[in-house]
Copies of this chain bind each other. A is one copy, B any other.
Amino acid sequence: MTTISDPNISVKKGKLLDAALSLMLSKGYHGTTVDEICAEAGVTKGSFFYYFKSKEDAGKATLDHFERLQSHLLSGTGWERIADPWEKLNRYLDVFALMAKNPDAPNSCLTALITQEMAESNAEFCALCEEKLAGNAKPLKDILDEVIAQYPPQSPVDSQQLADYFLAVYQGSLILAKARRNRAVLGQNVEHFRMYVTALFHIVR
């Protein structure tokens, strides 16, 4: 899994964030120790606490780091520059379907994992995760709004709700894929969602 670091931070801090991300994606926040992160990053504990004031602080930075990785995986595939909204929507869904075959794609969503572990016991983490999940749904909502404007559906479509639905589909699929050690379900479920949207807009191909 390649990770993308903010170029304005030091090499070692980048290594710590990469290590924290990889370990937390695999074992969760509580399952990952500061010592393990340091060992994986090849950095001492003193440095860890130089860059992060606490493990919690590092956890939040790791969530931001994960968000950067997500953006990187999403961009560069060119879907943003497609003019026709229906075509754009389909290229956007393709990106997710292809994650099943992309070895660089993480096998979990850190935001979801930390939500599960922390939402009830830590209000700050909960708010941060909620915000990041909302950000995950945003691009699809915008595309759907464009589709609605250009190809008005017969019965009204709630773009926000539909984007949330896709987010749930994808998050749930990641869990199934992890349990099965097989990502095929990711691609399959994206196709089910695609067929649903197609039916909603009564678009026959």
Contact = CB atoms under 8 A, between A and B. Distances in A.
A93 B176 CA distance: 20
A170 B171 CA distance: 10
Nearest to A109: B175
A27 B162 contact: no
A39 to B, nearest CB: 15
Interface residues of A, number: 45
A161 B31 CA distance: 32
A150 interface: no
A202 to B, nearest CB: 10
A129 B172 contact: no
Contacts of A170: 172
Interface in A151-185: 161-162, 164-165, 167-173, 175-176, 178-181, 185
The A contact surface, by secondary structure, is: helix
A142 interface: no
B129 A179 contact: yes
Interface in A171-204: 171-173, 175-176, 178-181, 185, 188-189, 192, 195-196, 199
19 contacts: A28-B117, A31-B118, A31-B121, A108-B116, A113-B116, A116-B178, A117-B117, A119-B179, A129-B179, A133-B176, A133-B179, A164-B176, A164-B188, A165-B188, A167-B176, A168-B185, A170-B172, A172-B175, A195-B196
Interface of A: 26-31, 107-108, 112-113, 115-121, 126, 129-130, 133, 161-162, 164-165, 167-173, 175-176, 178-181, 185, 188-189, 192, 195-196, 199
